[in-house]
Amino acid sequence: MMLPRISLLAQDADPATQYFSSNPAPKSLQNHTTLAREFINYHHGISPHRRLVLVTSGGTTVPLENQTVRFIDNFSAGTRGATSAEYFLQEGYAVIFFHRQFSLLPYSRHYSHSTNCFLDFMDEDGLEGKPGSVVVRKEYQEKMNHVLQQYHSAKKNRMLLLLSFTTVTEYLFELRSLATLMRPLGNRAMFYLAAAVSDFFIPRDKMEEHKIQSSEQSDGSITDQPTAGKQLVINLDPVPKFLSTLVSAWAPSGSMIVSFKLETDPDLLLSKAQQSLHRYHHDLVIGNLLATRKWEVVFISKEGEKWIRVPKARRSKSFSGVENLVGKIEGKAEDTPVDLDAG
Ligand code: PAZ
């Protein structure tokens, strides 16, 4: 019997191609592609020495319903990505900061998700109870001035493009588009993949359209009766391994590709990071453990394994644990202790 052509194609396609043909492209894709194309063309034309990095940051969500009320999320706040983006800008890179919506952003991160409300950085200078101008409190002025200057410089020189994602599907469609747009940059392009991307998802054709009901009977009718004991069983499919396709097909040849590997079990970290490097043939895997990610990371590359640790004396509760990994990748930062920003 002859199979319809469409199913032959679906069977033949690799998992990544199948993923893109069976899940809908995000609404933001066209607009983000236009913004990214302009940004890349601008920096490509400006100087033969201009380097451009795509930094991914924060966690992706996995929606449970198409009209999404509930979704699976992960812990990542985007600290690593936002901090690293600042270091890349300092090193003269143009940065596409591809981040989870509402996660930490370069520069504003110093204030936005602080344990202080941002209003606590402000004061007003009115006399005798009369309203005056809003000013930054004295104790914060020096640092804020410094951060503001860096932020203004990045904006004025068009060095930073902010693009956001929420779901894992948005992330993957846009990653493919951005990597493809970066092709003309060749070895001036870098990928710094710090985002925590879900390994599992619900494909569009298996997803509920509406909010999943807790009071549905087996015949599909809705009851008002309390439904204690009803379980929600969710089946998730694996997300295809996109790093492989990024390295072999989307990214410019000669570009540098740095991925991160997060584990919770110390006994697994090294082997999983090494496995990732061998499997995907990219340049560097930066391994970290959930519990210690602010203090230590391990670089796994063709040259072997290298730990970078923040000395104990410099760790504190208020320390945001940000390391200048960018300097380390470029071989500019000195050996341990790493360059820190106690911001
Ligand atoms: O965003 P954050 O600073 O809280 O965490 C950073 C991180 C642990 C998500 C990142 O360093 C990382 O390991 N990303 C890859 C995660 C993964 O293995 O999918």
Residue 56 CA to residue 85 CA, distance in Å, equals 9
Q: pTM of the predicted model, to two decimals?
A: 0.90
Query: Comparing 44-58, 98-112, 136-150, 203-217, which segment has the lowest mean pLDDT?
Result: 203-217
pLDDT of residue 5: 45
Averaged pLDDT, 242-247: 96
Burial 235-254 (b: 16+ CB within 10 A, else e): eeeebbebbbbbbeebbbee
Contact 186, 256 (CB under 8 A): no
pLDDT of residue 165: 98
- CA proximity to 109, closest of 140, 77, 136, 133: 77
Asked if residue 276 has its Cβ within 6 Å of ligand 1, the reply is no
Q: Which residue has the tokens 């410089």?
A: 153
Provide ipTM, 2 decimals: 0.99
Query: Comparing 6-10, 42-46, 108-112, 136-140, which segment has the lowest mean pLDDT?
Result: 6-10
Task: Give the rounded percent of residues in the chain with a pLDDT score beyond 70.
Answer: 87
Which of the four pLDDT bands, split at 50, 70 and 90, describes residue 8?
A: very low
Which of the four pLDDT bands, split at 50, 70 and 90, describes residue 323?
A: low
- CA proximity to 62, closest of 198, 254, 195: 198
Task: Give the rounded percent of residues in the chain with a pLDDT score beyond 90.
Answer: 74
More confident call, 81 vs 3: 81
pLDDT tens column, 27-40? 999 999 999 999 99
Averaged pLDDT, 335-342: 39
Other CB atoms closer than 10 Å to residue 226's CB: what's the count? 9
Residue 25 CA to residue 204 CA, distance in Å, equals 11
More confident call, 221 vs 251: 251
Asked if residue 261 has its Cβ within 6 Å of ligand 1, the reply is yes
CA of 293 to the centre of ligand 1 (A): 8
pLDDT, the chain, mean: 89
Q: For a pocket test of ligand 1, which of 201, 264, 274, 288 has the largest count of ligand atoms closer than 8 A to its C-beta?
A: 288
pLDDT tens column, 220-233? 665 555 555 678 99
49 has pLDDT over 80: yes
**What is the phi/psi pair of residue 279, to 5°?**
-75, -40
Asked if residue 194 has its Cβ within 6 Å of ligand 1, the reply is yes
Asked if residue 100 has its Cβ within 6 Å of ligand 1, the reply is no
217 has pLDDT over 80: no
- CA proximity to 298, closest of 310, 286, 309: 286
More confident call, 337 vs 153: 153
CA of 259 to the centre of ligand 1 (A): 10
CA of 102 to the centre of ligand 1 (A): 16
Sign, CA dihedral 81-86-91-94, equals: positive
246 has pLDDT over 50: yes
pLDDT of residue 3: 43
ω before 337 within 30° of 0 (cis)?
yes
68 has pLDDT over 60: yes
pLDDT of residue 329: 86
Mode of pairing for the β-strands spanning 200-201 and 237-238: antiparallel
Contact 49, 185 (CB under 8 A): no
CA of 195 to the centre of ligand 1 (A): 6
Asked if residue 321 has its Cβ within 6 Å of ligand 1, the reply is no
DSSP assignment, residue 190?
Answer: E
164 has pLDDT over 50: yes
247 has pLDDT over 80: yes
44 has pLDDT over 70: yes
Q: Which amino acid is at 297?
A: V
Which of the four pLDDT bands, split at 50, 70 and 90, describes residue 81?
A: very high
pLDDT of residue 313: 79
Averaged pLDDT, 40-48: 95
